[in-house]
Structure 1
């Protein structure tokens, strides 16, 4: 079993308990890891990719966010760490030539060396933790192992954070679906009453208008309902 330093692990857990959204947690986590890694590190970034979801990222400050841009481009070292699942070290950004477009603007912000470490996530989620330094050749084996341990400890709470975020996303989608279904059902009832027609006919009327105007059926339904009342609510218990 991999040993975990209890103090950083507890700090990561406290952050998760206090965070309301994944994005806020990632930013706070980047700030905490910067503190843990010491004064030789200039900034930290955490980036996570998930299928069919917007890329999630957090940075210790605005400068770290700028430094991360060329690091996590399609051909950057951070992206290589994510795709290969192995740590990538840049010993001196001023002489680095492995990636097109890197170091780019990150050198202007003071990056001389960096370590991009893959995160141990679940399922199809992939990500990397990146530490930047103004010193060349900082991330030698001992310092790199410290960064990797920090990333491993962060990964444990990140897995939980991603599970929570996935549940929240499903709940939001379900709420949106319920609200959409409510509006459509009410609109169908209104059309049935106005035209003395069956439910099937009312649905076909909505579909016909939707296709003719090339707009979503929910939008058509909302227009029908709005003509009668603007106080439609979807009720469910939290």
Structure 2
């Protein structure tokens, strides 16, 4: 279910210097950062074009389901349709085509099925801009942003009801803004990835500590080695078909003094 992007900024006054900080400080998750980014992007292009603009973002990351965020449900549904059909301006720019793709519905026959769907969704124009993430400065414009296995790729998409909503000035502004958006998004991705890694590491440390303490209890009770104690835990885990950590925690909880504290971090 799509979540509308946050509002509250004056249209025509996007806060360029604060965009990086917004995506990091005002967001607890990467999804929050994406919603903030599409809201800022829509505000900027709307101010440039002088019309109402919907904005969406598609983010591909290795071994993850593509993330799709939009300012409205119609935008999200349009991006979902394009991802499923593999046809349209976002698909074009993310596959390594031109960094910008524009569809003016009247007289544009590049993506006929997409054009029909665009009209059904109530839009007359679409503009897609590739966001250059983790790119090698030596790469040329034909390879930067290519969406492939093991590579992160992203694009912003703008939608308007007018059939000719994006003049050259609006396209140029969108492309300029995309450079800042890409840097902001890359920083947000890196930060949230670091947070996730720290959480995973803390969980591993907690798990390992519980297992080690439980092994110590078994060693004291049975006068056996660590390897023998670990084997006892492993057999119990296999026999009961539950995780080794769970077996260890249950053992510790049955101690007369209760389970010892084994949590890392604040």
- Class of the TM-score when normalised by the shorter of the 2 chains: 0.7 to 0.9
Richer in helix (by share): 1
Q: Number of matched residues? A: 232
The 5-angstrom pairing of residues 189-208 of structure 1 reads: 189-208=216-235
Query: 1:43 aligned to 2:50?
Result: no
- Structure-2 change in CA distance of 1:200 and 1:177 (3 Å): same
Instruction: Using the TM superposition, give the Cα deviation of residue 193 of structure 1 relative to its aligned residue in structure 2, in angstroms.
Output: 3.0
Which secondary structure does the structure 2 equivalent of 1:51 belong to? coil
Tell me how far apart the structure 1 counterparts of residues 207 and 118 of structure 2 sit (CA, whole Å).
Answer: 45
Query: Among 207, 212, 220, which residue is 2:247 paired with?
Result: 220
**Aligned residues of 1:75 and 1:99 also touching (Cα < 8 A):** no
The 5-angstrom pairing of residues 1-238 of structure 1 reads: 8-16=15-23, 17-38=25-46, 39-73=50-84, 75-77=86-88, 78-84=90-96, 86-92=99-105, 98=111, 102=114, 107-122=119-134, 124-228=151-255, 231-237=259-265
**Aligned residues of 1:119 and 1:128 also touching (Cα < 8 A):** yes
Gaps of 5+ in 2: 1-13, 136-150
Tell me how far apart the structure 1 counterparts of residues 52 and 111 of structure 2 sit (CA, whole Å).
Answer: 22
**Aligned residues of 2:53 and 2:158 also touching (Cα < 8 A):** yes
Which secondary structure does the structure 2 equivalent of 1:191 belong to? helix
**Aligned residues of 1:93 and 1:111 also touching (Cα < 8 A):** no
Which secondary structure does the structure 2 equivalent of 1:36 belong to? helix
Higher RCO (CA < 8 A, seq sep 6+): 2
- Structure-2 change in CA distance of 1:56 and 1:138 (3 Å): same
Instruction: Using the TM superposition, give the Cα deviation of residue 184 of structure 1 relative to its aligned residue in structure 2, in angstroms.
Output: 1.2
Q: Which consecutive aligned stretches of 4+ in structure 1 deviate over 6 angstroms post-superposition?
A: none
Scaled by the length of structure 1, what TM-score is found?
0.81
Moved more, 214-223 or 85-94: 85-94
Gaps of 5+ in 1: 1-6
Instruction: Using the TM superposition, give the Cα deviation of residue 75 of structure 1 relative to its aligned residue in structure 2, in angstroms.
Output: 0.7
Scaled by the length of structure 2, what TM-score is found?
0.73
RMSD: 3.0
- Structure-2 change in CA distance of 1:84 and 1:184 (3 Å): same
